[in-house]
């Protein structure tokens, strides 16, 4: 996977003869470059392109996950496998979605809010 907007650091031009200072500069530039590649902090890339997706498949607009999928959680699966786990909504929707609906969990109950504003409890807690 390549970062599309990542730029490498220009390397210093080598001197005619060996110089320790140049060699230190060269190594420091490489260290900075690789530390940027290894960094876990957010970067300013607008998009990422992956050649492989581990844990499932992605084909166009379809995502297939082998294992569990979590929305707001990585642990709430009730010991199931191949299940969707959802955490309680941290903010319950208060406005109506346009041309669709919102599925969410409130106090453990599965709820749906449609574009007309009707909130339906699909399954109690």
- On whether the pTM is more than 0.85, the answer is no
Strand residues in the chain grouped as ranges (E): 56-59, 62-65, 69-71, 84-86, 101-106, 109-114, 119-123
**pLDDT above 90 covers what percent of the chain?**
31
List helix spans (H) across 1-125.
20-38
- Residue 38 class from Cβ within 10 Å (0-12 exposed, 13-18 middle, 19+ buried)? exposed
d(C-alpha 103, C-alpha 105), whole Å: 7
Query: 46 and 64 in contact (C-beta within 8 Å)?
Result: no
pLDDT at 50: 67
pLDDT at 94: 93
Q: Does 1 have pLDDT greater than 50?
A: no
The mean pLDDT value for 1-15 works out to 63
The mean pLDDT value for 95-119 works out to 94
d(C-alpha 110, C-alpha 68), whole Å: 18
pLDDT at 53: 64
pLDDT band at 113 (very low <50, low <70, confident <90, very high): very high
């Amino acid at each position: 996977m390549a970062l599309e907007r990542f730029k490498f650091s220009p390397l210093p031009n080598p001197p005619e003869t060996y110089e320790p200072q140049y060699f230190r500069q060269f190594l420091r530039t490489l260290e900075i470059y690789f530390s940027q590649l290894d960094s876990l902090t957010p970067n300013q890339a607008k998009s990422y392109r992956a050649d492989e997706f581990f844990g499932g498949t992605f084909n166009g607009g379809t995502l297939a996950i082998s294992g569990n999928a979590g929305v707001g959680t990585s642990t709430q699966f009730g010991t199931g496998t191949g299940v969707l786990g959802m955490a309680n909504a941290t903010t319950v929707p208060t406005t109506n979605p346009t041309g669709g609906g919102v599925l969410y969990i409130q106090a453990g109950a599965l709820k749906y809010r449609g574009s007309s504003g009707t909130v339906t409890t699909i399954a109690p807690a």
